[in-house]
Structure 1
């Protein structure tokens, strides 16, 4: 039996229970879990802001989670390039992307190379964006 390699990515800024749950659930679906942590530069170019927690520290946080087997930098959004480099069998993505034109196309491209895309529910009650908003409000008041 060959081992199933899983892959997921994220910024993992202000690491919270939603992040932990996604990683834990992903690991249940594969034998070896690779996690791509988005660099500060990629995050800034995509979202217009730098993460609060620096990249090196976010990498270290994710590396110390028992059920994460390998952590790699995510330097661009090219998931096929990641697949060519890492050869994963499953990719885990938040269900907020499911059904979008981009991800429908990605499903077709990945199916052609034997990769299954697995969607997980987005944790709406806790998010780094919400935590950032609360933190900014607190800092403005103090």
Structure 2
């Protein structure tokens, strides 16, 4: 069984989120998703997500492609998470290309194209208009 791991905030769940989860699941047999905790999101973006970490976790757990969900507490712990969850493959959006190549000694690293023209930030900006 090939275990795939991916990470994200997954705030305001949208079609792009669905696509990355679907494509990640197609690569392996068991999909593990690390959801950025509220505190991690605040530290990297300077704002809290619209949905709480508990709400975002519940949304991702309900997705048929996802087998297991946990809270990602630190960006610096990716190696530890990959080892802890016995990941064979790390899947990330291509906006992260090259950022996780240092993990290729413990798992295969695959960057997949993001769904064009959609992001949580764009959705928030559209709502504000």
Structure 1 unmatched ranges of 5 or more: 138-142
> Is residue 2:49 matched to residue 1:51?
yes
Whole-Å Cα distance in 1 between the matches of residues 30 and 72 of structure 2? 18
Residue 96 of structure 1: aligned partner:
95
Matched residues, number: 128
Q: Structure 2 matches for 1:23-34, cutoff 5 A?
A: 23-34=21-32
Structure 2 unmatched ranges of 5 or more: none
Whole-Å Cα distance in 2 between the matches of residues 68 and 60 of structure 1? 11
Cα-to-partner distance string for 1:83-115 (whole Å, 9 max, x where unaligned): 22111000011111214xxx2xx32x32222x1
Superposed displacement of residue 134, structure 1? 1.6
Superposed displacement of residue 123, structure 1? 2.0
Query: Which entry has the higher C-alpha Rg, 1 or 2?
Result: 1
What RMSD over aligned residues (CA atoms) do the two structures have, in Å?
A: 1.1
Query: TM-score scaled to structure 1, two decimals?
Result: 0.86
Residue 15 of structure 2: aligned partner:
17
